[in-house]
Structure 1
Amino acid sequence: MKGYLQVYTGNGKGKTTASIGLAIRAAGAGLPVLFAQFVKGMKYSEIGALERYSDLITIKQYGRGCFIEREAQKEDIEVAQKGLNELREILQLGEYKIVILDEANIALYYKLFTVNQLIDIIRNRKPDCEVVVTGRYAPQDLIDEADLVTEMKEVKHYYTAGVQARKGVEC
């Protein structure tokens, strides 16, 4: 099976959720999956769900909590760079058939690493590895590199009416 590059981006809800759906589908087919999450370092409900498939889905987090309400600190950059270097090796080994780089676009937006670094590790992966990159603000260079791009567009969201994130729905 040839692996493609998918990008899920946009300001609408559902990018991570879509990638989790793909991870569960792949696990159902017996394919090993890596769910690598940037920026976030806490245990969100999606992590709890994926842990139920631990025989086929591996979870790695390259974040120190969710810092999007503050400036990235040196430690945030170091954790993301360490994760990117680890992923370079993982993608070259080819142990996983699906690798999801959740919120990697946010890591790019906050300059935790460069789009050239990300594209380089994706290009040097095993050819049968599917890679999914999620997060708002996908840069044009990554979109150009991708084989499939889905943009989630917010049409209406109850958050604008003051509804806070709810466990099991948004977090």
Structure 2
Amino acid sequence: MDIVAPPAAPGAKATGERRGLVIVHTGHGKGKSTAAFGLALRAHGRGKPVRIYQFMKVPSARFGEHRVFETLGVPIEGLGDGFSWKSRDLEHSAQLARDGWLRAEATIRAGTHFLVVLDEIMYPLRYGWLPLQPVLDALRERPPQVHVVLTGRNAPDELVALADTVTEMAPVKHHHQAGVPAQRGIED
């Protein structure tokens, strides 16, 4: 490990106007949804209205994030029927994604939420279940105070270009490589 000196002064202060941001968490590493949920908790902790849509989770899902957000009064809604390899009818899965997008789009355009999370939206985009252009249009046309976080692997280039902040999670080491299975409270 290299030892470095702590900064002696802060970096340059931003001088632009505050506005809603489009934030993308993508890449093949772990932590995309977790980071988005952290932003949701931060915004909620500041008294800001937050809404979370999960494009691949079923409406009846009861993962750890559902339990805590329900306790806090933050709406979190599963829009899908599980991951594609669990689906019995991919056209039905595609229709759920399209129907879910209409609800998420209405929330974004209404402007009543400070933060809208579109968790795992990259999957229906990449599978062709959901056209990209309406998503890009809604992000461009959203009210200026609305922040939107989008998560999932392989974010389309057009979305990356439109976003204000893009973080790519890159795997360095993962416990699955050592044969360790998913852990409750860590991955669900």
The TM-score, its normalising length taken from structure 2, stands at: 0.85
* Aligned-partner residue type, residue 110 of structure 2: L
Q: Deviations over 1:60-111 (max 9, x none)?
A: 2110123245687111111110111112221111111100000011221222
Report % sequence identity.
Answer: 37
Moved >6 Å (runs of 4+): none
**Could you tell me which residue of structure 2 aligns to residue 138 of structure 1?**
155
Q: Point out where structure 2 has 5 or more consecutive residues left out of the alignment.
A: 1-17
**Could you tell me which residue of structure 2 aligns to residue 8 of structure 1?**
25
CA contact (8 A) 2:81 2:87 kept: no
Question: For the aligned residues, what is the CA RMSD?
Answer: 1.5
- Structure 1 position 59, deviation (Å): 1.1
Where does 1:32-71 land on structure 2 (aligned, <5 Å)?
Answer: 32-41=49-58, 42-54=61-73, 57-68=74-85
Separation in structure 1 between the aligned mates of residue 100 and residue 124 of structure 2, nearest angstrom: 11
- Structure 1 position 135, deviation (Å): 0.7
Q: How has the CA–CA distance of structure 1 residues 3 and 68 changed in structure 2, closer, same or farther, with 3 Å as cutoff?
A: farther
Separation in structure 1 between the aligned mates of residue 41 and residue 65 of structure 2, nearest angstrom: 11
Separation in structure 2 between the aligned mates of residue 29 and residue 159 of structure 1, nearest angstrom: 36
Larger CA Rg, structure 1 vs 2: 2
How many residue pairs match? The answer is 169
Where does 1:26-37 land on structure 2 (aligned, <5 Å)?
Answer: 26-37=43-54
**Could you tell me which residue of structure 2 aligns to residue 98 of structure 1?**
115
Q: Point out where structure 1 has 5 or more consecutive residues left out of the alignment.
A: none
Where does 1:86-165 land on structure 2 (aligned, <5 Å)?
Answer: 86-165=103-182
Q: Bigger CA drift: 69-78 or 19-28? A: 69-78
- Structure 1 position 156, deviation (Å): 0.5
